Amino acid sequence: MQLGARIFKTGIAISLALFLANWLNLPIPFVAGISAIFAIQPSVYRSYLTVLDQMYGNLIGAVIAIIFVLTIGSNYLTIGLASVLAIILMVKLNLNNPVPLTLVTLIVIMESHQEQFLEFAGLRFLTILLGIFSAFIVNMIFLPPKYETRLFTSIHEVTEEVIRWIRVSIRHVSDYSSVKSDIGKLSDKLEKVDQWYSFYKDERSYTKKQQFVKGRKLVLYRQMITTTKKSLEVLKRLHRYENELTDLPEHFHIMVQERLESLASYHEQLYMKYVGKLRPEHSETAGADSVLKRHEVMDVFVREINLAYEDATSEFSAYHLMHILSAILDYEEQLEHLDLLIIAYLNYHSDEVGSELENTI
């Protein structure tokens, strides 16, 4: 969900909580607005989980506050001790997220010095719950966007950037500092991709068929993310051992360059295959005219090592090149696995790929 949408939802939740609290004549209605801030979430399911956690947490805070006030009274020291006890208990119960609002509940209740303490404590507790439920209602009404589209788009965009840098780096025309800067940015974008994946995973499926399709999609998207991370690892190795690559024998350098170009094209075509722009049986690595296969690359590599040992004047660096080749081979294996997953998915669920995904490529 975009930041602007969440701000909009938060504002509506606060307004709704304040309106309902004033309409019901609840004490200190602004507390309802505060609790709505803590309860707003990017998806309906996460909002549901937040409501449960906040209810448990605020009930614990309210009970501790009431016990402290009725037994040893309310002052600065007892409020602090009660807060410490509440935090310890929440941590023990693995309820870390609702701790801030729980402390708000505790302080709001303990600072009350009304004669009818229990009645006011109950009303204040209900005011906080009203804010939580207001946020949940807003999340239910203003449905979040389809996270699948955002997830696929973000994966594809990061992959395109990585592939573009790989093609530039293998030709040794890239600027060192620019590549280094963009590698850091791409790593940050992949963290955002993981977040979109988490949001998509949290979306609920209400039929067995939807659950089955969703399960296969989760496996597929997770492999897409893994493959993109492997491509970024290849870029990192190319960047780190840039000088060693320039010292390679020309024919071996051309072989590595062709291999990477083939894998980059393969990666791009897999996304086109997934959205239905290529036939499922199409494969970049198939056919007699394809570039060297993995075992052939290794055969050439071993042969170059033997020649380098025989030639004392050779500048061939087998140690550093092994880091690059291992990343390339790992990248290729992940691509092939992704290809198999896409083919299997399209064979059974080709009608489940939405047109909005096709428009992203």
Angle at alpha carbon of residue 70, lines to 69 and 71, rounded to 5°: 95
For position 325, what pLDDT does the model report? 83
For position 1, what pLDDT does the model report? 44
Indicate yes or no: pTM above 0.85.
no
HSE (side-chain half, CA atoms, 13 Å) at 307: 12
For position 257, what pLDDT does the model report? 84
Residue 308 burial (10 A CB sphere; 0-12, 13-18, 19+): middle
Taking a C-beta distance cutoff of 8 angstroms, is the pair 315, 247 a contact?
Answer: yes
- Would you give the DSSP letter of residue 205? -
Taking a C-beta distance cutoff of 8 angstroms, is the pair 262, 291 a contact?
Answer: yes
Whole-angstrom distance, CA of residue 128 vs CA of residue 268: 51
- Would you give the DSSP letter of residue 102? H
Please provide the DSSP assignment of 59-105 as one string. HHHHHHHHHHHHHT--SHHHHHHHHHHHHHHHHHTT--TTHHHHHHH
Taking a C-beta distance cutoff of 8 angstroms, is the pair 44, 143 a contact?
Answer: yes
**Nearest residue to 34 via CA among 101, 87, 98, 79:** 101
Taking a C-beta distance cutoff of 8 angstroms, is the pair 234, 331 a contact?
Answer: yes
Phi and psi at residue 61, in whole multiples of 5°? -60, -40
Please provide the DSSP assignment of 154-179 as one string. HHHHHHHHHHHHHHHHHTT-S-HHHH
Give the residues of the chain that fall short of pLDDT 50. 1-2, 286-291
For position 55, what pLDDT does the model report? 84
Whole-angstrom distance, CA of residue 133 vs CA of residue 15: 13
Tokens of 147: 């996270």
For position 288, what pLDDT does the model report? 42
Phi and psi at residue 11, in whole multiples of 5°? -60, -40
